[in-house]
Every structure is written in structure tokens, then in C-alpha cells.
Amino acid sequence: MSKAPVALIILDGFAIRDEVFGNAVKAAKKPNFDRYWETYPHNQLKASGEDVGLPDGQMGNSEVGHLNIGAGRIVYQSLTRINISIREGQFYEIPELVEAVKAAKESGKALHLMGLISDGGVHSHYEHLFALLRLAKQYGLEKVYVHGFLDGRDVAPSSGLDFVKKTEEVFGEVGVGRFATISGRYYAMDRDKRWERVQLAYDAMVHGKGAQFDSAVAGIEASYKEEVYDEFVVPFVVTEGGQPVAEIESGDSVVFFNFRPDRAIQLGTALS
């Protein structure tokens, strides 16, 4: 048998679906691909949910797909492992998290929780934030502040308002937590060394600089009126009595609850 080169070509976002409406792949003119499909043996793989180590029904993404292809087996993703740890209780015993909460309690300082507020499951999941709030409540913390980043890429472009409202409901249910700042991920989660973007998020979180609103909801609604949606919402500060609800100060505990590191590095570096 003669040997011939083999190429593995990955087409991100390319999938097989019978439905025609909204199906760019099916509508596209792709004579080469169509010829390969008709001429050569082919099969289909599932690229979401439990088949790639994600929770059932969770959409896949490029990183997840690449990890599973490279490993040649199902790789259970951070999202899945964290979800399981919350469900089974180990999450509330993670030493680093417990240490951060205890340090804030013993020093009388604040606990700041920052990350992407959505259920996209690519960089974060807001259920993980809710678990952190419950952990803080267990230890009797009162000064717990959330610096929320709006998504708009892994979820609908203007879904952030609903995620923030849901989070505020959980604040009430758990009995702890307040929004201190809101930033679009374009600013808070830059990974291309555009430090001027990160600076705006940093200044809001640390120095209370930026537009001021008396609630997270009011700030987001004002941005929507300007047709600036979640990903690109300019960092703003939530105030009470004309003063920032909270600023990150020396000695405070800070937890970044994004589980994917690439878009957490720059802001994390700025704060460290």
C-alpha cells in the first residue's frame, strides 16, 4: 500500500445541520468541500456536551475541541469539574478559596469577586460566582463586592442585563454581595496587550474612576440606550451616596472566578 500525506484541517464553527434557515454553512458555495464529501468516506463527530467533557447541553468551543482532538479521548473540562465540586461540596473546601475568605474575615477587610457574568461556559459560569457568595456567607463575611464583566460573545450581545439582574436576586437570597463595578469584556479581559483597555477596568475597580451610576442595572441600561452592548460596555462604577460602593484596597482578598486563564492574565497581572 502506497503512503500519502494526511492533513488534519480544523474549521472552527463549521458543522453539519439539516435546517436551512440561518445556516451559513449550508447556504455557502463550497464546491471543494462538497466534492470531498460526495467522493470520499466520511463520518460525523459530536463536539459539544458530555462528548467533549462538558455538561450535557453545553455548547462546544475551539479550545475544548482542540483539547479533545489532541488528547485522543474525552477531556473533562474545568467547567464540568468545578460544577461537580460544587454539587458534591468539595468546592467549599478548596484551600486557596477558604484562605482568601478567612483572611478577609480575620482582618476585617473586603472580599472582591471578579469575572465574567454569564452562563456561556467558555471562560466562566455565573453559578461559580454564586457558590463563592455562599462560601463567603458561611464564614460570616459582610463586605463582599462583585466586579462584573459583561460577555456578549459566548452569549447573546445584550443578555448581560438579565444575568446581572439574576445575580442581584442571588445577592438577596444568599444575604451577601453587591456590585461595585461593571466592565465589558473588551476592556477587562483583553489578551492582546492593549493595556489601555485594561487600564479603564483597573481604574474603575481600584480607584473608583469612570462614569458613575447608582446601580449596575442603571449603568447597563444607559449603555444600551447608546447602542453600546455587553462586550463593549465602558467600565463604570456603582455608587452609593455619591461614593463608590467599594474599591480594591491593600489587604483585601480578591478572587478571579474565570476558569480559563488566557483572558485573565493581563488584569490579574495589573492587580498583583
pLDDT in tens, 34-72: 999 999 999 988 899 889 988 888 888 888 899 999 999
pLDDT of residue 6: 87
pLDDT in tens, 149-198: 999 999 999 999 999 999 999 999 999 999 999 999 999 999 999 999 99
C-alpha cell at 238: 456603582
Whether residue 231 is contained in a domain is answered as yes
DSSP 2-41: ----------TT----S--TT-HHHHS--HHHHHHHHHS-
Strands (E), 51-177: 111-116, 144-150
Q: Are 218 and 185 in contact (CB under 8 A)?
A: no
- The DSSP secondary-structure symbol of 205 reads I
Whether residue 14 is contained in a domain is answered as no
CA distances from 89 to 36, 84, 92 (A): 50, 8, 6
Whether residue 77 is contained in a domain is answered as no
Exposure string of 104-135, with b = 16+ CB inside 10 Å and e = fewer, is bbeeebbbbbbbbbbbbbbbbbbebbbbbbbb
Q: Tell me which residue has cell 455538561.
A: 55
pLDDT of residue 45: 87
pLDDT of residue 272: 87
In sequence order, what are the residues at sequence separation of 6 or more whose Cβ sits closer than 8 angstroms to the Cβ of residue 173?
none
Specify whether 118 is located in the same domain as 158. yes
- The DSSP secondary-structure symbol of 158 reads T
pLDDT in tens, 65-99: 999 999 999 988 888 899 999 999 999 999 999 99
pTM here is 0.82
Whether residue 234 is contained in a domain is answered as yes
Whether residue 157 is contained in a domain is answered as yes
Q: Would you please indicate which residues are annotated as catalytic (active-site) residues?
A: 62
Alpha helical stretches, state H, 28-114 = 31-39, 62-71, 78-88, 95-107
Specify whether 60 is located in the same domain as 99. no
Q: Are 171 and 133 in contact (CB under 8 A)?
A: yes
Q: Are 90 and 230 in contact (CB under 8 A)?
A: no
pLDDT in tens, 10-30: 888 888 888 989 999 999 999
Q: Residue 211's domain is classified under what CATH number?
A: 3.40.1450.10
